[in-house]
């Protein structure tokens, strides 16, 4: 592992941090660790995050998302849906579990230099892979997830939700994950005028879950918003 890794567009990233780095068990350990202390401070790990930011657009990307963003919002009335319920700041939301890849707790997000948008928070290690991390709060124009600890280049969050569509994953921090639940789509209520136009554009409606009023998010639009921030 070199502390000066070339950044070649499209180059194959070798995740040495999982073998001879701090997350690996191979011996001998990477000699660069004596200098940088932790893999997150190594240029090769940082380059992996920049490589993720420079990933090419999927085939037919523009056509797919143009169609998606132009379509009328629809729900399948009369059916139930399994969702994950979570909180960002003080607001409760739900997303369908068919896009849910995993939930992580206590993860550190590392900032990347000169992001195109404030929606891109940085990169995070999830199961040994460097993944881009986004801010759902910034996308919706609401209070962002609470930070447990932070430095100039890092921030620690209580939890992360990982969504997956096709080959791409979308990671965002949350303040709290409540549970998986079944909601009735026919009980979705209209979005009140008190909700900002930006947040409302990503919502399919509101649903009552016990004492909580939850905004049910359009997963496709959320992932499209994350993609547009790159």
CATH of the domain at 77: 2.40.50.180
Q: Quick one: 33 and 81 in the same domain?
A: no
pLDDT score at 143: 78
Q: 106 pLDDT exceeds 70? A: yes
Structural domain boundaries enclosing 13: 1-56
Q: Quick one: 104 and 217 in the same domain?
A: yes
Interatomic CA distance for residues 96 and 183, integer angstroms: 10
DSSP state of 41: G
Domain count, the chain: 2
Q: Quick one: 102 and 2 in the same domain?
A: no
Single out the residue in 12, 32, 56 at which a domain terminates.
56
> Both ends of the chain: CA-CA distance in Å?
27
Q: Quick one: 203 and 133 in the same domain?
A: yes
Q: What is the mean pLDDT of the chain?
A: 81
Q: Is the pTM of this model over 0.85?
A: no
Q: Quick one: 30 and 78 in the same domain?
A: no
pLDDT score at 107: 83
Q: 8 pLDDT exceeds 50? A: no
Q: Quick one: 77 and 183 in the same domain?
A: yes
Q: Quick one: 49 and 69 in the same domain?
A: no
Token pair for residue 159? 């939890």
Interatomic CA distance for residues 38 and 35, integer angstroms: 9
Element (H, E) at 91: strand 91-96
Of residues 95 and 113, more confidently modeled: 95
Q: Quick one: 49 and 120 in the same domain?
A: no
Q: Quick one: 133 and 189 in the same domain?
A: yes
Q: Answer for the pair 20, 26: CB distance below 8 angstroms, yes or no.
A: yes
Single out the residue in 30, 56, 82 at which a domain terminates.
56
Taking residues 168-195, report their average pLDDT. 91
Q: Quick one: 109 and 79 in the same domain?
A: yes
Of residues 163 and 44, more confidently modeled: 163
Share of the chain above pLDDT 70, in %: 79
Q: Quick one: 50 and 123 in the same domain?
A: no
Alpha helices by DSSP H, 54-135: 61-70
Closest CA to 2 of 12, 16, 19: 16
Of residues 150 and 190, more confidently modeled: 190
Report pLDDT digits (tens) over 60-85.
655 665 665 555 555 444 578 999 99
pLDDT score at 65: 55
Taking residues 146-160, report their average pLDDT. 79
Q: Residue 213 — very low, low, confident or very high, per pLDDT cuts 50/70/90?
A: very high
Q: Quick one: 113 and 148 in the same domain?
A: yes
Q: 149 pLDDT exceeds 50? A: yes
């Amino acid at each position: 592992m070199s502390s000066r890794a070339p950044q070649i567009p499209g180059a194959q990233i070798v995740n040495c941090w999982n073998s001879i780095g701090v997350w690996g068990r191979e011996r001998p350990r990477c000699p660069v660790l004596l200098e940088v202390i932790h893999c997150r401070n190594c240029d090769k790990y940082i380059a992996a995050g920049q490589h993720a930011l420079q990933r090419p657009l999927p085939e037919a990307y523009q056509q797919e998302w143009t169609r998606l963003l132009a379509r009328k919002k629809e729900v399948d009335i009369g059916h139930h849906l399994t969702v994950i319920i979570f909180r960002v700041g003080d607001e409760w939301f739900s997303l369908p579990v068919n896009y849910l890849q995993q939930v992580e707790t206590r993860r550190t997000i590392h900032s990347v230099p000169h992001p195109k948008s404030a929606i891109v928070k940085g990169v995070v290690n999830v199961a040994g892979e460097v993944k881009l991390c986004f801010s759902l709060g910034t996308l919706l124009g609401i209070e962002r997830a609470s930070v447990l600890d932070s430095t100039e280049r890092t921030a620690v969050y209580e939890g992360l939700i990982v969504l997956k569509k096709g080959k791409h994953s979308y990671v965002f921090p949350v303040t709290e994950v409540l549970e998986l639940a079944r909601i009735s789509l026919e009980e979705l209520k209209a979005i009140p005028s008190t909700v900002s136009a930006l947040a409302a554009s990503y919502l399919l409606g509101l649903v009552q879950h016990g004492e909580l009023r939850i905004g049910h998010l359009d997963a496709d639009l959320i992932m499209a918003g994350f993609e547009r921030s790159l």
